A = this chain, B = another copy of it.
Amino acid sequence: MGMMRGVSAIFVMFLFVIAVNGRGLGPSISKPDPADGVATARWLASQNTWGVLSTISIELKGAPFGNVVSFSDGLPDKGLGVPYFYMSTLDPTPRNALKDERASFAVSEVPIGSCGKADPENPTCSKLTLTGKLKLVSRNTKEAESAASALFSKHPEMKDWPKDHEFEIYRLDIEDIFLIDWFGGRKPITLAQYLHPRMDQLASVV
């Protein structure tokens, strides 16, 4: 009976781990203090794996067009803040960007799993929109190589996606950072702060 109880306890613990982790999407690094907007923004970019990439639609005559896409800003927990995408021109988003580079990329804290009971639109449930220019990354460059590692490490199935669909790597060159992570409206963050957080801030993100 003692052994049975031991096995039962291990089973309970196992289920508890599954329960706490939900669908396995929990963040591997805990949420920064909301007072630290730069760290929060970088954490949102590093811990998310998908978001919505918006471009100016050709087909819809200039309407904004948001599209759910996967992304990576670096190796797991080693994000550098700049989102890379792996898209085919069978999809409208890269076609739009090749005509008009203006784009924005939005992610939420909800998929990371740390908003608790806060509504997705409650300002304590943080959200980040990076706006700038969406650029094709040239093949066979050092950047393409590191971007591929960043993407494939978080999205292992990508490397097996059909070769004849001509997937290419794209990078968002960020110009504006829109972060909500607490009451009081948009948190002011400059591009320089976002790309080069002070070392003590970075320590809590990477």
In the assembled complex, A55 has its CB within 8 A of some CB on chain B: yes
Top 4 nearest A-B pairs (CB, nearest first) are: A52-B52, A50-B120, A66-B106, A64-B64
Stretch at the interface among A31-39, A121-129, A188-196, A197-205: A121-129
Instruction: Show 16 residue pairs from A and B whose CB-CB distance is below 8 angstroms, ordered by the A residue.
Output: A8-B12, A12-B12, A23-B113, A52-B52, A52-B66, A54-B54, A60-B131, A60-B176, A63-B131, A64-B66, A64-B104, A67-B106, A67-B129, A70-B121, A118-B157, A119-B157
> CB-CB contacts of A77-114 with B at 8 A, as 1s and 0s?
00000000010001010000000001111111011010
In the assembled complex, A137 has its CB within 8 A of some CB on chain B: no
| In the bound complex, CA of A110 to CA of B22 (Å) | 13
In the assembled complex, A153 has its CB within 8 A of some CB on chain B: no
Contact at B22–A131, with CB atoms within 8 Å? no
Query: Which B residues are in CB contact (< 8 Å) with A57?
Result: 104, 131
Query: Which B residues are in CB contact (< 8 Å) with A47?
Result: none
> Which residues of A are interface residues toward B (Cβ below 8 A)?
1, 8, 11-12, 15-16, 18-19, 22-23, 49-57, 60, 62-70, 86, 90, 92, 102-108, 110-111, 113, 118-122, 127, 129, 131, 155, 157-158, 175-176, 178, 185
Query: Which B residues are in CB contact (< 8 Å) with A108?
Result: 50, 68
Contact at A120–B52, with CB atoms within 8 Å? no
Contact at B64–A155, with CB atoms within 8 Å? no
User: Which residue of chain B has the shortest Cβ distance to A102 in the bound complex?
Assistant: B63
Most-contacted residue by chain B among A64, A69, A111, A176 (CB, 10 A): A64
Instruction: Give the residue of B1, B12, B69, B129 whose beta carbon is less than 8 angstroms from that of A11.
Output: B12
- Beyond A90-B185, A155-B121, whether A102 also contacts B62 by CB under 8 A is yes
How distant is A104 from chain B, measured CB to nearest CB, in Å? 5
| Additional A-B contact list (4), CB under 8 Å, known A66-B105, A68-B107, A68-B127 | A22-B23, A64-B66, A64-B102, A69-B120
Query: Which B residues are in CB contact (< 8 Å) with A103?
Result: 63-64
